[in-house]
Structure 1
Amino acid sequence: MIQYFTTNWEKIQNFQARPDDILIATYPKAGEGVGPFYFPLSRNEYERVPFLEIAFPSMDSGVDLAEMITTSPRLIKTHLPVQFVPKSFWEQNCKIIYVARNAKDNMVSYFHFDRMTLTQPDPGDWSSYFKRFLEGKSIFHTWFCCLILFGSWYDHVNSWWKKKQTHDKIHYMFYDDMIEDTGEEIEKLCCFFGLSPSVEEKKQIKGGVQFDNMKKNSMVNYSTFQVMDFNVSHFMRKGKVGDWKNHFTVAQNEEFDEDYRQKMKNSTLQFRWEV
């Protein structure tokens, strides 16, 4: 964790969820663009779907923003591992969407995000970042700290998957499926929420959540967010499945595949590296 989360930790853990709250949980840069499903893109993403654990100076914290929302349902997003989700979400039996992305593309996207965000230590070069991502931990030296914020991708996706097996209010989605067939994933969400939007409404939703449309929309792309340097990279960069091929060397891919086989051998989760 970084100080912007830890200094607000008690407030996060004591957050009071409402029964009709919807929590959107992901590992960082795994894709959580389901806000337009409920709300038109007419308000800034940061205010419309508060990021629960964030607490930057001179800005309202995610908890404060969530508490300011008087309409229902509230959409709240988090990158917290399942064991750190405030207990009120479980007590209120809230519906939760978890979005998982294949680890190779997730790693690449997270690397570029760490390059452009001003709140975390510089990620360093790609080769060292690749190693740290596989290890899923931070490396501390006397003169610098290299974070993998929110820890291991493997722990994150597997712990949420395990929770889903005993909690029927969790809808586990895959980013790669959303890219391949957005319409089908919208249908699954409608079923999960018990909604029956019209054909026209579904068409509008599908258009709203298309990556290229969201990337151009200042209400969603975080271009007004002061803690990101868009001269380095965009918050919404490519949104492709398979972009890892432009970053992984042959040796890195072989190392990754062997590491993946070992760490996922007891998991029933299935990911795709391309669509």
Structure 2
Amino acid sequence: MEFLRKHYEKLLLSVVLAGLIGAVFFMLKRIADEREFLDGKRKGITEKMNPYKALNTSAYDSALQRTKTFHPIILHGQHNTFNPVLWQRKPDGALLKVVTGKEIGPTAAMVTDISPLYYILDLERVSGSSYQVSVIREALPNPADRIKRSRYVSLTSPKTEFFRLKEVKGPADNPTELVFELADTQETVSIAKDKPFKRVDGYTCDIEYPLENQKFAKLRQGDEVAFGGEEYTVDIKPDEVVLSAKSSTKRTSLKYSAKKE
């Protein structure tokens, strides 16, 4: 009894610990049993589940295929329900049917001629050791500057505002060739009797607009013309004329084919 009285607390603690250990083992066993039970239930449910049926998407597939082979809606043509045709009266009173839009405006204009504008240097006369040389500058914008200008030069007085005499080939009073340096381009050129120097410095053109019976002759680079309710600036090239609309800066190229003689 004396032993129990002295050590009852330890005995009580041992009993409690033993109970706790037993409870832990019981819980572990119960958890394992529950897991096994749930696995069995889950397995039974999975085995009894009916397989999914494949979805029928044929209607959607058919609709998708139809989008790949569409048929355009024609909103133009002879019926002109949505695009009525424009008719325009010509100077002779006849009506012009405008179908594509190219029947009027700058695309309906025609280039009837393109001619070069020359810089011409020519030996006109020999007087002893002096030479009368003329220059014509057809491309200059001021008409007064385009007229022929004649100047006398010699090896002792070789320079003018247009050119400089560099060399005389052959006898001084009957040269076979005169060599000049041009003032505007500094290029070296040669001339002789009946063999002038010619250089293309620009072009003129003739344009017609039949719809309004208009003709524009001898147009030069940068000139302006007006037809079809629009104004255009002219840009002339060797084989075409480009019309730039002043209202929109839209450019239209008109090809020119020279007539064969």
**TM-score interval (norm. to shorter):** under 0.3
**Structure with a larger share of its residues in helix:** 1
* Bigger Rg, structure 1 or 2: 2
Report the TM-score when normalising by structure 1: 0.15
TM-score, scaled relative to structure 2: 0.16
Q: Larger RCO: Structure 1 or Structure 2 (Cα < 8 Å, ≥ 6 residues apart)? A: 1
